[in-house]
Structure 1
Amino acid sequence: MRHVPTRNQAEAVQRLPHPAGALPSPRKLPAIGEFSWIWIGLVLLFVISALVAPGTMTRGSILAMLPFAGILAIVATGQTLVIQQRGLDMSAVGMVSLAGVLMARTGFGFDSIVLAAVFTVAVGALVGMINGALVSRVAITPLVATLAVNALLIGVVRSLTGNVPVNVPPIMQTISHAQYLGLPANVLFAVVFVVAAWIITRKTSIGRRFVAVGVNPRAAEAAGVRVLKYQIGAYVASAVCFSAAGMLLAGFIGSASASSGNDYLMPAIAAVVVGGTPFTGGKGSVIASAVAALFMAQLGQMVLALGAGTSVQLLVQACAILLATTVRYLPSAVKTLRSMKR
């Protein structure tokens, strides 16, 4: 009969001294998650900013940067959801601009900012359904489909405004410039969007099916999941995020125009990449994308404080994306090299 040591005997054996020449097995350091690198990068960026551009670390500078970081985080949240479905939404520019214009016009027309916001979000959801249908039903490449829709949206905005900025209702300006608990309102709105997206995608059965569709649509469909619903739903969710960001941006600036959303396409995609969400679908983290949005906003402010021009800012963004991608795949590359040596 096989003897099974008791718990006390096992603990006693573990306390025995190791034989001569034998070394205890080294304890492994806790592995850094694939979406955790951005937190380290954000801390390093703030340290570097304090050293090379201390003016960007004052309370006034941070409070001036946070509203735009919050808007970028909302756009990045929508873009993350689409990329998790192996897509890409290039209509962010047009949707952000159109949302600001619609909110401004309907806010004065309805004499109610609530009705204006509801109408704007509804239009955004309709645009998202069009994007999703073109990609999922008509099988047009996401890049081509959303670029075409973006061109259409820009044309609508120019028709509505005549290429002249539109004033925003004062109540929307008050909301966007308000502060609660010492934080700009835009940041709190961003927290609401990010947390809601995180709960839905990580803590619900809908989210589990959403991730399954992103990982392998055919396998998910074979398992009885309505793939089309989740693929189109991702574009609807992204368009709603873009609409909210457009309204907050217009309220913060005080006007809306056809060029309002120009700065919220590539930085949002960069935030998703820097946050660690891969373009292969399935895996993703809206929280990491939101933190990366803060990273990108602070990076831009630091570079601007150093006197760099637009071209240098774009170069720095490109380097940040390249560095983030390298760091993400560095552990797997090291493991591959070690296995080859063996």
Structure 2
Amino acid sequence: MRKVISNRAAVAPDNVPSSSSKPRSVRVPAIGEFGWIWVGLVLLFVISLAVAPGTLSRGSILAMLPFAGILAIVATGQTLVIQQRGLDMSAIGMVSLAGVVMARTGFAFDSLGLAVVFTVGVCAIVGVINGTLVSRLAITPLVATLAVNALLVGSVRSLTGSVPVNVPTIMQTISHAQLIGLPANVLIAFAFVVTAWVITRKTAVGRQFVAVGVNPRAAEAAGVRVLWYRIGAYVASAVCFSAAGMLLAGFIGSASQTSGNDYLLPAIAAVVVGGTPFTGGKGSVIASAVAALFMAQLGQLVLALGAGDSVQLLVQACAILLATLIRHLPTALRTFRRFKQ
């Protein structure tokens, strides 16, 4: 009996392949849903170099970066709101209001520091109003923030009489300053983006913030103060909008009711192109900031080719559709393969 068992164990069947003979599948490294924007940015610069090399000259880049930095700040605030399944359409009025209030209080207080603090405080109050309308009164974010935006635009018109307001010289100096070869607006935008990234990714508050965006009911059941985080997202976006409005007014040299017109749809486009979904929770302020640079360079490329504003809007729409398609393409391919099997 022992002899039979030992003989059976000693003989290995020929039809069983060894582990070493199995073909190894080569896996392509995953870029990630927030990594595609880096690929798109590199491709855009390559295309710009081939089609319109003048857009990559030092003068063109230095002229584009300040506006890209301002757009990145607005996109950062918009990203935080979208992570809470919201949307802040009051960016136009908030950017315009911040520039006007800073200009008026700067001359009235004879102190830029007091003017900046006062402006941020006013915009933060508007953020609380937005967050309360959405979170407490359950008004759709689109409707609530559009209504607030109309009030803000009307207030700016009343303050200015539809006439641009001059900005204190010191604010203009700050907005046009350069440090280590980069415009000050870019460095300030970098500080905003890094601060938001550290808070949302490296702190307990940030983890709770993401949890509220993913599933508010589960977060509330776990003891998280959901209302605070929802309102806080709108307050944070208001602070970002106020900073962008003050920097824009300083860079242009004046503030008016139309200052923020170019910073609503491009900012939302930057968030979408960066990969932040509207389903809440997940998001990347860094990807949104990179997408802001992408949108700014794309606009400069279109203008360099002689296209008008309508074509620029069309290109922005195509960029949004392409970014959405690329982000959902891997999931669609996996679903197709499962269906095929």
In the superposition, the TM-score normalised over structure 1's length comes to 0.94
Q: 1:49 corresponds to which residue?
A: 48
In the alignment, is residue 131 of structure 1 matched against residue 147 of structure 2?
no
AA aligned to 2:199 is I
CA-CA distance at 1:19 after TM superposition: 6.3
Q: Secondary structure of 2:277's match?
A: coil
RMSD, matched Cα? 1.2
List gaps (5 residues or longer) in structure 1: 1-17
Of structures 1 and 2, the larger Rg is shown by 2
Distance 1:215 1:254 in 2: 42
Task: Give runs of aligned pairs for residues 240-279 of structure 1, distance below 5 A.
Answer: 240-279=239-278
Q: 2:289 corresponds to which residue?
A: 290
Distance 2:298 2:31 in 1: 23
CA-CA distance at 1:23 after TM superposition: 4.7
Q: 1:172 corresponds to which residue?
A: 171
Q: 2:12 corresponds to which residue?
A: none
AA aligned to 2:243 is A
Q: 1:155 corresponds to which residue?
A: 154
Distance 1:152 1:337 in 2: 48
How many matched pairs? 325
Query: In the TM superposition, what whole-angstrom CA distance separates every residue of 1:175-220 from its partner, at most 9, and x where no partner exists?
Result: 0000001000000000000000000000000000000000000010
Q: Secondary structure of 1:89's match?
A: coil
Distance 1:67 1:218 in 2: 41
Q: 1:213 corresponds to which residue?
A: 212
Distance change >3 Å, CA 27–CA 244, structure 1 → 2: same
List gaps (5 residues or longer) in structure 2: 1-16
CA-CA distance at 1:22 after TM superposition: 3.6
Distance 2:22 2:308 in 1: 57
Identity of aligned residues (%): 82
**Displaced runs of 4 or more, over 6 A:** 18-21
AA aligned to 1:81 is L
Q: 1:36 corresponds to which residue?
A: 35
Q: Secondary structure of 1:27's match?
A: coil
CA-CA distance at 1:165 after TM superposition: 0.2
Q: 1:227 corresponds to which residue?
A: 226
AA aligned to 1:142 is P
Q: 1:6 corresponds to which residue?
A: none
Q: 1:9 corresponds to which residue?
A: none
CA-CA distance at 1:27 after TM superposition: 3.0
Q: 1:313 corresponds to which residue?
A: 312
Distance change >3 Å, CA 20–CA 296, structure 1 → 2: closer
Query: In the TM superposition, what whole-angstrom CA distance separates every residue of 1:234-279 from its partner, at most 9, and x where no partner exists?
Result: 0000000000000000000000000000000000000000000000
Q: Secondary structure of 2:27's match?
A: coil
Query: In the TM superposition, what whole-angstrom CA distance separates every residue of 1:70-115 from its partner, at most 9, and x where no partner exists?
Result: 0000000000000000000000000000000000000000000000
Distance 1:19 1:265 in 2: 61
Distance 2:277 2:303 in 1: 29
Distance 1:27 1:311 in 2: 45
Q: 1:62 corresponds to which residue?
A: 61
AA aligned to 1:269 is I
In the superposition, the TM-score normalised over structure 2's length comes to 0.94
